[in-house]
Amino acid sequence: MEKLLQFESGSSMTGVVALGVLMIVSVLLLLLQGRKNGTLPPGPRPAWPVLGNFPALMGGQMPFLTLHKLSAQFGPLMYLRLGSVPCVVISSSEVAKEVLQVKGASFAGRPKRYGPAVIAGTSDFKNISLAPPGPYWRQLRKSCTHELFSPSRLASYEGARTDEIRIMLKELLIDSKKGDAVDVRGWLTGVTANNITRMLIKKRFFGKGPDINQEQKKDFERLIYRIYDEASAFLISDYIPYLQFVTELQGWTSRFKDIRNELTSTLLPRIFEVEKHKQRAKERELSGDSDSDYVPDFVDLLVGAPLDDGKPLSDNDISMMLTDLFLGARGTSATTAEWALAEFVIRPELMKRAQDELDTVVGKDRLLRESDLPHLHYLNAFVKEIFRFRPPAPFGIPRESTRACEVLGYSIPAHALVLVNQYSVHRDPSVYRNPNEFDPERFMEQPEVNHLSGVDFFQLIPFGAGLRTCPGNKLGNLLVLLMLGNLLHHFDWSLPPGECADSFDMSGVYTFVCSRKKPLFLIAKPRSPALLLG
Residue 232, domain member (yes or no): yes
Residue 67 lies in a domain: no
Is 72 a member of any domain? no
> Which of 57-71, 224-238, 292-306 comes out lowest in average pLDDT?
292-306
Which residues, in sequence order, are bridge partners of residue 308?
A: 311
pLDDT tens per residue across span 129-144 = 888 998 888 888 887 8
**Annotated binding-site residue numbers for heme:** 470
Residue 338 lies in a domain: yes
Q: Say how far residue 527 (Cα) sits from the centre of its chain.
A: 33
Selection from 270, 296, 269, 271 nearest residue 285 by Cα: 296
pLDDT, residue 15, reads 40
The pairing of strands 77-82 and 85-90 is antiparallel
Number of C-beta neighbours around residue 155 at 10 A:
10
Q: Determine what percent of the chain is predicted with pLDDT higher than 70.
A: 89
Residue of 226, 479, 331, 220 whose CA lies nearest to 212: 220
Nearest-angstrom CA–CA distance, 356 and 479:
21
Query: Which position has the higher pLDDT, 2 or 529?
Result: 529
Strand bridging mode 85-90 / 417-420 = parallel
Q: Are 321 and 128 in contact (CB under 8 A)?
A: yes
Neighbour-count burial of 412, counting CB atoms closer than 10 A to its CB (0-12 exposed, 13-18 middle, 19+ buried): buried
- Per-residue pLDDT, 272: 79
Distance (Å, whole) CA 508 – CA 441: 24
Model pLDDT, residue 208? 79
SS3 of 522, please? strand
Closest CA to 88 of 77, 96, 99: 77
- Residue numbers in the known binding site are 470
- How many separate domains does the chain show? 1
At residue 95, the pLDDT reads 97
Q: Is the distance from CB of 482 to CB of 370 less than 8 angstroms? A: yes
Question: Is the dihedral angle over the CA atoms 120, 122, 126, 131 positive or is it negative?
Answer: positive
Whether 370 maps to a domain, the answer reads yes
pLDDT band, very low/low/confident/very high, at 212 (cuts 50, 70, 90): confident
Quick check: 318 pLDDT over 60?
yes
The predicted pLDDT at position 200 comes to 85
- Which pLDDT value is given to residue 331? 75
The predicted-structure confidence for 341-398, as pLDDT tens digits, reads as follows 999 999 999 999 999 999 999 998 889 999 999 999 999 999 999 999 999 999 999 9
Domain span at 230: 108-393+427-460+462-533
Asked if residue 101 is part of any domain, the answer here is no
* CATH at 203: 1.10.630.10
In a domain, 498, yes or no: yes
**pLDDT band per the 50, 70, 90 thresholds, residue 5:** very low
Give the model confidence (pLDDT) of 493-531 as tens digits: 999 999 999 999 999 998 888 999 999 999 999 998 777
Tens digit of each residue's pLDDT (9 = 90 or more) over 471-499 = 889 999 999 999 999 999 999 999 999 99
pLDDT tens by residue, 263-314: 877 776 777 788 888 888 788 777 766 555 666 788 887 787 666 566 777 7
Domain assignment present for residue 155? The answer is yes
